[in-house]
């Protein structure tokens, strides 16, 4: 199987070949049919290899998560801040292993099949005596439990795959869902002054504001699983269930974090984004090189110099942007030739977010800026899972659902600007 670097090298070669045909097309009045076919083939190779590169990068991210040794973390043999935090939280390797085993038993057979030791482990959480059940008074098959670390890592990775906003926004985790306020200040309109001799200093107050973030309850909705599937020891049921439940929660959260109305749901980063550039009349489904330049420079240099600025757009919009060229007939899109270095537009990275609107009349179809400064996502504790054994017993099925509390809100509207297509 080709490595990531080999795919990057192949794409660079295909891109160079496409560029050769592009240069010839610009200098010759007419190209042969064979040259046109070869040009199209080179561009198709670039598209195909770009998709392969994206898949390989996702696979490597998932592989890194799957390779986390939680026993090492709990034993105290890790040395990263994340490992230190996990070690302090979970208390001991034996306790975590016991909890994981009990949780898997509960997932497959329900509470009635647990031993007294497993029941005790699930009631008390790990080994530190902390209450970790989803319902403090729940008993029997209706009880819910915190998803153990390895399972949760898979689900969070799935949520990130379907949630571009989690890749770029600031994400915080809190122990409770109470409204979390923080102070704000915009003093950029105030400046100092020259003071004459023997003159009293004038006053200029600093105005403080306040923002806050709450927590909405998100659910994966119910999934019914047959007893045969649960009892099939060959099937990797944990990965399958984590993927399905995580995909559902990840999709709806990303939609809200991108275009949410702010009423009964989070306010999205795109919803009330300040317009940095509007397309000229007729550009209802297009964008130009000059438009993107103006959009970039509509963001203050203080944010552009952060090293985190990038574009956000839907894949269909990216397809249109990749066809744009500058005044020297050079493409704005530049493919990466090095692993770990993203492809770029105008020298800036980009993130594809399928919840961004496609280009249409009046659509705010492209965002540019520092999304970490612009938007904050708040998660409350861990993902929780419920198992419903009796409700669908006559179908010989067991119901599962996961839920997570989260919210998101813009925190610095100056950090991001939007390109809006023309109304007509």
State residue 140's pLDDT score.
35
State residue 383's pLDDT score.
87
Placement of tokens 């030739």 in the chain: 337
State residue 294's pLDDT score.
97
Residues forming beta bridges with residue 377, ordered by sequence position: 171, 408
State residue 130's pLDDT score.
40
d(CA 96, CA 137): 23
Placement of tokens 């379907």 in the chain: 162
d(CA 64, CA 58): 10
State residue 78's pLDDT score.
45
State residue 268's pLDDT score.
98
State residue 91's pLDDT score.
47
DSSP E strands in 79-150: the ranges are: 144-146
d(CA 305, CA 299): 10
Q: Which domains does the chain have, with CATH numbers?
A: 4-19+31-66 (no CATH), 147-184+207-424 (3.90.1690)
State residue 285's pLDDT score.
96
Structure tokens that stand for 9 in this block: 């090298």
Alpha helices in 163-288 (DSSP H): 164-168, 227-231, 237-259
> Along the chain (424 residues), what's the average pLDDT of each consecutive run of 10 residues?
80 81 68 78 83 76 56 43 46 66 73 74 52 35 63 82 90 92 88 91 89 95 87 72 90 97 97 97 96 97 94 95 85 76 88 96 97 96 85 89 95 97 96
Alpha helices in 235-384 (DSSP H): 237-259, 289-297, 301-304, 315-321, 371-374
Record the pTM: 0.74
N residues, the chain: 424
Structure tokens that stand for 227 in this block: 């007893």
d(CA 142, CA 155): 22
- DSSP letters, 36-63, are HHHHHHHHHHHHHHHHHHHHHHHHHHHH
């Amino acid at each position: 199987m080709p490595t990531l670097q080999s795919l990057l090298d192949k794409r660079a070669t295909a891109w160079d070949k496409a560029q050769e045909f592009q240069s010839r097309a610009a200098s010759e009045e007419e190209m042969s049919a064979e040259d046109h076919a070869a040009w199209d083939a080179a561009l198709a190779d670039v598209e195909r290899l770009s998709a392969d590169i994206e898949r390989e990068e996702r696979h490597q991210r998932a592989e890194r998560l799957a390779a986390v040794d939680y026993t090492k973390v709990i034993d105290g043999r890790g040395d990263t801040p994340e490992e230190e935090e996990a070690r302090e939280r979970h208390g001991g390797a034996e306790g975590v292993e016991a909890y994981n085993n009990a949780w898997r038993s509960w997932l497959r057979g329900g509470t009635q099949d647990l031993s007294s030791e497993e029941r005790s482990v699930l009631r008390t959480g790990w080994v530190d005596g902390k209450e970790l059940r989803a319902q403090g008074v729940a008993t029997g098959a209706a009880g819910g439990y915190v998803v153990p670390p390895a399972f949760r890592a898979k689900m969070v990775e799935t949520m990130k795959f379907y949630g571009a906003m989690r890749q770029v926004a600031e994400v915080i985790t809190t122990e409770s869902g109470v409204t979390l306020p923080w102070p704000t200040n915009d003093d950029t309109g105030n400046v100092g002054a020259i003071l004459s001799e023997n003159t009293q200093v004038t006053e200029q107050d600093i105005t403080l504001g306040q923002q806050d973030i709450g927590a909405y309850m998100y659910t994966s909705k119910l999934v019914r699983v047959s007893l045969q599937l649960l009892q099939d020891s060959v099937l990797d049921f944990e990965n399958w269930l984590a993927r399905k439940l995580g995909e559902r929660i990840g999709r709806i959260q990303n939609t809200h974090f991108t275009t949410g109305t702010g009423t009964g749901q989070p306010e999205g980063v795109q919803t009330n984004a300040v317009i940095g550039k509007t397309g000229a009349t007729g550009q209802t489904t297009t964008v130009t090189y000059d438009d993107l330049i103006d959009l970039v420079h509509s963001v203050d240099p203080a944010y552009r110099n952060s090293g985190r600025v990038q574009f956000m757009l839907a894949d269909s919009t990216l397809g249109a942007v990749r066809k744009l060229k500058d005044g020297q007939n050079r493409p704005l899109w530049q493919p990466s030739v090095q692993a770990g270095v993203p492809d770029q537009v105008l020298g800036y990275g980009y993130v594809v977010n399928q919840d961004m609107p496609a280009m249409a009349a009046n659509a705010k179809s492209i965002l540019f800026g520092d999304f970490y400064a612009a938007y904050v996502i708040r998660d409350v504790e861990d993902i929780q899972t419920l198992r419903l054994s009796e409700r669908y017993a006559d179908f010989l099925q067991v119901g599962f659902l996961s839920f997570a509390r989260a919210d998101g809100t813009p925190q610095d509207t100056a950090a991001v600007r939007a390109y809006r297509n023309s109304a007509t």
